[in-house]
A and B are shown apart, each in its own frame.
Chain A
Amino acid sequence: MDIFLQQVVNGLIIGSIYALVALGYTMVYGVMKLINFAHGDLVALSAYIGLMFYTQLIGLGVLPQPLVVVSVFVLTAIVAAAVALLVERVAYRPLRNAPRLSAVVSALGASMMIQNGIMLIWGPNITIFPSDILPAVSWTIYGITITFVQAAMIIITLVLMISLTLFINYTKMGTAIRASAINQDVAKLMGINVNMIIMIIFIVGAVLGSVGGLFIGMYYRGISFNLGWVYGLNAFIAAILGGIGNIPGSMVGGYMLGLFTALIAGYVSSSWAEAFTFILLILILIVRPTGILGERVAEKV
């Protein structure tokens, strides 16, 4: 039982990362019907940028530790959003009306550019996050141990998801985003600047992804230039599990995949986790191709 509960906690942690990253894929897909392959690498870049900001700010020695951490999150989010906008402008916007495959190739190109850029700047070896970014406190409740980092990850992710849900469902801009996802031409007829909507979703996706990237660094500590592939792929699978294009679906898919891999790691073997992930993906695609919360795909008449 202890193993089970401990693995559930671990599952929620990794699920938080998957869910945060999956939201970036799903929002862009929802509006543009494009898989933004560069998103995972943006997450990796965020981890490196965040570490750089942290080292610089600690070096300055002016700010107290909690303020340093908050600044790192904010500054990283800003840089990630700027890079995402650049990718959108350079790699995707010129291909807005091109065949779908051209955009996919461009997305893969953007992904490789960022990945290799990271390798050129920070090198091909594993970079280590310091262990003292957050307090090394932990609590033991009913035999399961939760560290400060873990608690922070779970809470921050929940806050971000609730904020996103409220923004999408209850604000004018959120409704405009949903309208643009349904029909871009008609959205334009409402006076919605669809280019601006696309920029907003890239910004929101990048901000959530940057938090995910920092979590990866702070929790697993070792980061490498290709981590975007590993986490990006899993998050992408999570988005498909939940129903790509569907925001609550990505949240559910992220946690589900996190719990699933943690339990496989706990009861079978962590080296088998990835194989089981793909088995789960294949099963979902056979039984319910639109994902758990995906909408019925009906032809528009």
Chain B
Amino acid sequence: MAEKLLEVKDLFVNYGSIQAIKGIDFEVNKGEIVSILGANGAGKSTTLRTISGLIKPKAGQILYKDVDLAKMPAHKIVREGVSHSPEGRQVFGTLTVEENIRIGAFVKPSVDKDTLDWIYNLFPRLLERRKQLAGTLSGGEQQMLAISRALMAKPQLLLLDEPSLGIAPILVKMIFTAIKEISKTGVTVLLVEQNAKAALKLADRGYVLDVGKVTIAGSATDLLNDPKVQEAYLGKKK
């Protein structure tokens, strides 16, 4: 029996007057890569932003190691071991690459040398460009930076929001390889993606989100073979 790391129970989230999440349940076991798929506006990013505390839910529970994150402020959730690489990278453009990485370790008393070496090993391009302003990096490099920044807090659960969004295919491949590497070190990954094919190849399990509700859930293989998923998200005709 796999050990649950994150358990989302009956979660409702409002965005202003709009109901963005209408009662979803899902769980992430320790060491897994779980993918949340869905179209634009399905509520994928909202789900991640709620887990990391940027949005407070209307109702429901977000149990992480039996602690309810739903009532915790965002800056404390990072300390619990949940890091979030947000949608659209959102690196600190006027800080250098190195400063961006170091600020990722804000919750740690000091910057961990081993983690830093590991990250530069994972993304050698960042080492080459560490003195550059983050805003001058390409989209793919910024994505690598956003993931690295999230890793510096040494998370147990890593939330990745659309790491393939607007990035050259070759870099997407590099980034997905890196996610696999990250997962191998024992970090649990919750991956939100529109690129369903790439995400399901990587993931152990997946959930399909449609206008704020989980419509399909299952193992990655099951989802890849599910005719509804194929039609809606993998571009295959029946």
Contact = CB atoms under 8 A, between A and B. Distances in A.
Nearest to A301: B88
A154 B53 CA distance: 46
Interface stretch (A34-42, A78-86, A187-195, A272-280): A187-195
A189 to B, nearest CB: 5
B153 A191 contact: yes
Interface of A: 172, 175-176, 178-179, 182-183, 185-186, 188-194, 295, 301
26 contacts: A172-B106, A175-B103, A176-B103, A178-B92, A179-B95, A179-B103, A182-B92, A185-B54, A185-B90, A186-B90, A186-B92, A188-B53, A188-B54, A189-B54, A189-B84, A189-B150, A190-B78, A190-B106, A190-B107, A191-B76, A191-B78, A191-B79, A192-B103, A192-B106, A193-B75, A194-B75
Contacts of A186: 86, 90, 92
Contacts of A183: 90, 92
Contacts, number: 64
Q: Choose among A176, A185, A194 the residue with the greatest number of B CB atoms under 10 Å from its CB.
A: A185
Given A182-B92, A189-B78, A189-B86, 10 more contacts: A175-B95, A175-B103, A178-B95, A179-B95, A185-B86, A185-B90, A189-B74, A190-B106, A295-B94, A301-B88
Interface string B158-176: 0000000000000000000
Contacts of B73: 188, 193
B75 A191 contact: yes
Chain B contact residues (Cβ within 8 angstroms of A): what range? Answer: 20 to 34
Interface of B: 52-54, 73-76, 78-79, 83-84, 86, 88, 90, 92-95, 99, 102-104, 106-107, 149-150, 153
A186 B78 CA distance: 11
B16 to A, nearest CB: 12
Given A175-B103, A185-B54, A186-B86, A192 B75 contact: yes
